Amino acid sequence: MIYTREVRAQRLEPGIPSGSAIPSKAAGLPLPQIGGVSKASALPTRLRKQACSDAPERALRRHGFLTIAGVDEVGRGALFGPVVAAAVILPPNPTLLSRLGLTDSKQLTCRQREALDGRIREVAVDLAIAEVDAETIDRLNIYQASRLAMLRAVRQLAVAPDHLLVDALHLDLSQLSHPCAQTSLVHGDALSLSIAAASVIAKVHRDSLMRSLEALHPQYGLASHKGYATLKHRKALLEYGPTPLHRKSFAPVLAATCARTSADMPRAGRNAAPASKPSSGSLFDQAEADSALILREAAAAQRGSPHCNPEAAGHRGAAGEKETAAWD
C-alpha cells in the first residue's frame, strides 16, 4: 500500500523550480563532516548529544541542490508485517520542527512521535509512504526489501526531488523518471531533519498498522511489541504458529516452525512410544536452540562467501533483539 499527500508547492523557496537539473559540479559530492560525527564515532550514546538539524540540507543547497528529500525506513528487524519507508521534503527553513525537538524516531516517545507526525504533515512540501510486505521480504531479503520500499516512497513524491538524503543505504536511482543525486548519511535519522521526519512518519504509520492488525491476530500482542521479537511474541509463535504476515525467512520464525513440526513427529526407534507434545518451556528452548543453529550456519556461509550477509537476509536471532517496542 502506498500513501501520498496533497502537494504544497508554495512552500518551496520562492523562485526555485521543483524539477531543476542537477548542477554537474555538485553531483556526487560528499557532504562535509557534521559536528565531528564520523562513521566510526557516531554511536547512539554520542548521537543523543548531537543536535539534529538541517545542516546537511543547507550544505547541499550551497552546492546548488534545490529540492531535497529525506528518506528512511522502519521495521527491518521485525518478525511480522511489512517494512515501511517514507520520503519527506521539508521547506528550506524548518525552524518549527527543530524547536519541537525532531530527531530519530527511536529517541522519541510514542506521544512525541505522534505529535511530531502531525506537525510534519502540516509543514512538509510533500511526503509519501510505501510498504513492502512480508512475502516480498522473504523472497528478496530484508536489505533489498528496505531499498525497494525507499525507492517506492521516492517515486510516489509529487514534487520531484533533485537530491536524496538516505539513512545509511544507497538506492538504485536509475528507476526514477527524473535526474536525481543521493547522499547516504550514516545515522542520518539523528543528524538530518529531513531524514528524521521520514523516520517519524514511517514509524507512526507502521505502529498504527500494527495496532489495527491486533484485532485480526490478538494472540500475538502486536499492539505492544509492533511485530518485533520480544519474548511474548516468540512464545506466541510456538503456541500458535506463524501467520501469513510473518516473515518466514527470519530465524526466530523459522526456528519456531521447525520446533512445532518436530514436536508433532513420533520419536524414532524400534520401541518408541508415540510422542507427546513437549511442554511450552521445552518447546521454547528447542526453538531457541534451532535459532542459534540457523545463525551459526548463516555465519559459516558468510565466511565461505563474501556476498552472504545473514543479517541482510533476515536471519536475526532472538538473543540479539531488545525487549522494546521502540525499535527502528
Query: 108-121, pLDDT tens digit by residue?
Result: 999 999 999 999 99
| Span of 21-30, 73-82, 301-310 with lowest mean pLDDT | 21-30
2-211 homologous superfamily: Ribonuclease H-like superfamily/Ribonuclease H (3.30.420.10)
Q: Give the mean pLDDT of the chain.
A: 79
Question: What are the extents of the domains in the chain?
Answer: 2-211, 219-320
Supply the pLDDT for residue 281. 56
Q: How far from chain centre, in Å, is Cα 139? A: 17
Supply the pLDDT for residue 169. 96
Tell me if 101 sits within 8 A of 200, measured CB to CB.
no
Which pairing describes strands 163-167 and 181-185: parallel, antiparallel, or unpaired?
A: parallel
Entry pTM: 0.74
Tell me if 206 sits within 8 A of 84, measured CB to CB.
yes
- pLDDT digits over 174-224, tens only? 999 999 999 999 999 999 999 999 999 999 999 999 999 999 999 999 999
DSSP state of 311: T
Q: pLDDT confidence of 77, banded at 50, 70, 90? A: very high
Exposed, middle or buried, 40 (CB in 10 Å: 0-12/13-18/19+)? exposed
Exposed, middle or buried, 301 (CB in 10 Å: 0-12/13-18/19+)? middle
- Round to whole Å and give the CA distance between 217 and 221: 8
Tell me if 169 sits within 8 A of 154, measured CB to CB.
no
All 3 cell numbers of residue 122?
Answer: 502540516
Which pairing describes strands 163-167 and 68-74: parallel, antiparallel, or unpaired?
A: parallel
